[in-house]
Amino acid sequence: MKDTSSYGPDPFEDAAQNEWEQFREGDGDFIGLAELKGLDLAAMPDDVRIPLLDDYFPETTLWRDGESIICEIQEHLYTKYWEHKFSAYAFADAMLRAVRRLAHEGHPLSQPSRDNDDDVHIFVRWELRVPSTSPVESVIDSIKAAFDLVWQRADSMLENSDSVLILGKDTGPGLERLKRIETRLQELGYYTYIIKEQPDKAGESVIQKVMRYALSSKFVLIENTEASGHLYELPHVTKAAECITVVLQEQGKGATWMFEDAYAKHRHWHKLAYEGDTLEPAVDQAVAWAEQFLGDFRAYQAATLPWLRKPEGKA
């Protein structure tokens, strides 16, 4: 075997290292898609950051994390020239919620954040994780798909009500339960309303206020462990207005027996019992049931009602 120690540095190894050198300082120039396609992402070192920017493509920073490539996607909302029907601030908030919702549904998205140091520029960021062995074309397609998915979901969340009305005892331990429900729903990307915390309108009764929020919500979640004013609100919201409703109550407890047979008669009602420390998983089950019911009901309407039936050949 020949002794190669005197031959000097391996020129191929040096070339590979130089390929990544421009990305090591963290403040290098953006590269375009054509340049990215010339890189071997599977060989990307852990200490580089690749800033990517191209026409009709989201601004992205890529780096390696173990066996994954992290793609931090950034959307810049310029409020001065924003033309969407909803404000840039509302849309930025919806994008954050969309990322959380999509992550809960199993998409490889995480870390939603927003920066708006002034009133003109809003930056929304989130991370996409893909395998480090992914071909560069696949990474590019995944970034574009993730951006489009978040944008479209945010738009849908604003266009179609994506809020949840939370009813139940709103004092003492009862309010603590409502707050736990609210926190979990917000983690899942929903807008939430606790009636007690919403502003009152002169000339509007309490039940009118409840109905206004119920009818503008995707579904209603009622914590029924203790008796409160929700027992008066429930027939208006769930029976009269036919709002999709999930009732949660601690195992072995409950505010009343009056509605027990209603769960069997009305398909848009559902009851879930939980142990005291399993409230958050019960909220997840409630959301899954409500979304499934709404999806099934929409499909039934589209197939049955002629004015909702889509023409053949259109998705």
Q: Using an 8 Å Cβ cutoff, are 265 and 311 in contact? A: no
CA distance 141 to 100: 21
Which residues contact residue 96 at a Cβ distance below 8 angstroms, ignoring those fewer than 6 apart? 112, 113, 114, 124, 126, 189
Instruction: Write out residues in the chain with pLDDT < 50, as ranges.
Output: 1-2, 4-5, 7, 10-15
Phi/psi zone of residue 254: left (φ > 0), alpha (ψ -120 to 50 degrees), beta? left
Q: Using an 8 Å Cβ cutoff, are 303 and 309 in contact? A: yes
What phi, psi does 209 have (nearest 5°)?
-65, -45
Domains of the chain: 9-159 (3.30.1460), 163-304 (3.40.50.450)
Measured between alpha carbons, how far is residue 52 from residues 26, 58, 123, 125 in Å?
Answer: 12, 8, 16, 14
pLDDT score recorded for residue 312: 66
CA distance 94 to 100: 10
CA distance 146 to 151: 9
pLDDT score recorded for residue 102: 94
Give the torsion through C-alpha atoms of 250, 254, 258, 262, to 10 deg: 0
pLDDT score recorded for residue 263: 85
Spatial CA neighbour of 158 closest among 89, 215, 214: 89
pLDDT score recorded for residue 224: 92
CA distance 272 to 246: 7
pLDDT score recorded for residue 279: 95
User: pTM higher than 0.85, yes or no?
Assistant: no
pLDDT score recorded for residue 1: 44
